[in-house]
Amino acid sequence: MPGLTDWFDVFRCGTHLDHSGKWRTFTEADIDKAIASYQSDSAPIVVGHPTLNAPAFGWIQQFRRQGPTLQARCSRVADEFADLVKRGLYKNRSISFNSDGTFRHVGFLGAAAPAVKGLEDIQFADKGEFITMDTAETVQTEQAAAQEQAEEVQVEPEAEAKTAESEAEMQSSRADAAQKAEPEVSLSDLESQQKQFQETVKKLESQIKSLENALNVEQEKNRKVEFAAYADELIREGRLNPVAKTPLVCTMEGLFASDQANFAAPENSVLNSFKSFLNIALPRNPNLFIGFAAPSEECCASAEALTPREVAIKARGLVDEQAAKGCCLDLGRAVRMVMEGGR
């Protein structure tokens, strides 16, 4: 260690643990403020950490800051104490601050105080709480903190690796459990299931087709009834000869099929147009075809058995019958009616 009258390190800025067990932070600004307010030879050199009075083995002539390090140099140092320091009996130093942040004393630690004759005890002004920081303890604390930080840095990657490994194992376990939970299905089972599905689809398609056919038959039957009723209405109104009923119904069936093939809307269909045409073209005359009816199969069969004379007589009777009703019927037409209807 250099001589006490040379500059020597006393303290370093930073966060340190004081003698009361509290962590305290000293910035460079705090140290600069204490240096600026220091009066030469006002802080004594003592051994240990005296509270109110203790012998002063010298005085701090001046403080200065070199970067984060606080340095001091002494004056009026006792020769006996300087010799002990030189021999290395006081390797550690501490500094004490008053509660207002000013320097209180610099303590040397490591051995008992020497017996120096003629030293007067110093009297510390009672300024309340004071803070004592050991340079050696500070160094040890900093080294411990650095070691702890290095261990944390070393442990963190290991912990992260273990965590990642644990997560990977958990995911693998979940995947294995899910795979075990799923039933194993062979290719033959899949093919069998597919075949059953296709057969089910065919059955459903066949049922749908049968229903559609039945619906079409029923709709066709209803249409024929509807068209026949329309023809009967025309016959009652005297617009249609009864013998034309069947051809008219067939014609309407054909027009309906054409409309269906062309996806025609009902209001724009050819069938509707045809019915509108009939309503305009065929005049109403309720008495025109009274007594006329479409020939039945029975009538047609009986007409074939008539002789020409019988046909003529019947035809003449039809002409006279219609004339009595106010209707005009020529003989040729009457003959055709007799031949077709057996009248």
**What does the pLDDT look like over 138-150, one tens digit per residue?**
444 444 544 555 5
Q: Find the mean pLDDT for residues 156-176.
A: 67
Q: Where are the beta strands (DSSP E) in the chain?
A: 8-12, 14-17, 23-26, 44-47, 53-55, 58-66, 69-75, 92-98, 103-109, 121-123, 130-134
pLDDT digits over 41-53, tens only? Answer: 888 888 877 766 6
The predicted pLDDT at position 341 comes to 64
Least confident residue range of 165-179, 184-198, 240-254: 165-179
Phi, psi (degrees; rounded to nearest 5) at 25: -110, 130
Q: Find the mean pLDDT for residues 269-294.
A: 68
Of residues 259 and 287, more confidently modeled: 259
The predicted pLDDT at position 308 comes to 63
In the predicted structure, residue 283 carries a pLDDT above the cut 90: no
Assign 136 a pLDDT band (cuts: 50, 70, 90).
Answer: very low
Tokens of 210: 């049968």
> How far is CA 7 from each of CA 35, 60, 78, rounded to the nearest angstrom?
14, 10, 17
SS3 category, 320:
helix
In the predicted structure, residue 170 carries a pLDDT above the cut 50: yes
Q: Find the mean pLDDT for residues 75-94.
A: 83
Tokens of 94: 């501490």
The predicted pLDDT at position 32 comes to 94
User: By C-alpha distance, which of 312, 323, 318 is closest to 292?
Assistant: 318
The predicted pLDDT at position 67 comes to 93
> How far is CA 298 from each of CA 7, 293, 336, 343, rounded to the nearest angstrom?
150, 13, 16, 11
Of residues 324 and 124, more confidently modeled: 324
CA angle, residues 235, 239, 242, in degrees to nearest 5:
40
In the predicted structure, residue 86 carries a pLDDT above the cut 60: yes
In the predicted structure, residue 29 carries a pLDDT above the cut 80: yes
User: By C-alpha distance, which of 166, 168, 169 is closest to 158?
Assistant: 166
Distance CA 336, CA 333 (A): 5
- pTM to 2 decimal places: 0.37
Percent share of the chain, pLDDT over 90: 11
In the predicted structure, residue 137 carries a pLDDT above the cut 50: no
Mean pLDDT for all residues in the chain: 75
Least confident residue range of 79-88, 122-131, 259-268: 122-131
Assign 66 a pLDDT band (cuts: 50, 70, 90).
Answer: very high
In the predicted structure, residue 289 carries a pLDDT above the cut 90: no
Least confident residue range of 66-75, 118-127, 150-159, 248-257: 118-127
Tokens of 343: 């009248």
The predicted pLDDT at position 270 comes to 75
The predicted pLDDT at position 121 comes to 45
Distance CA 200, CA 205 (A): 9
In the predicted structure, residue 168 carries a pLDDT above the cut 60: yes
The predicted pLDDT at position 158 comes to 59
Of residues 226 and 315, more confidently modeled: 226
Percent share of the chain, pLDDT over 70: 67
The predicted pLDDT at position 3 comes to 66
User: By C-alpha distance, which of 92, 96, 103 is closest to 64?
Assistant: 103
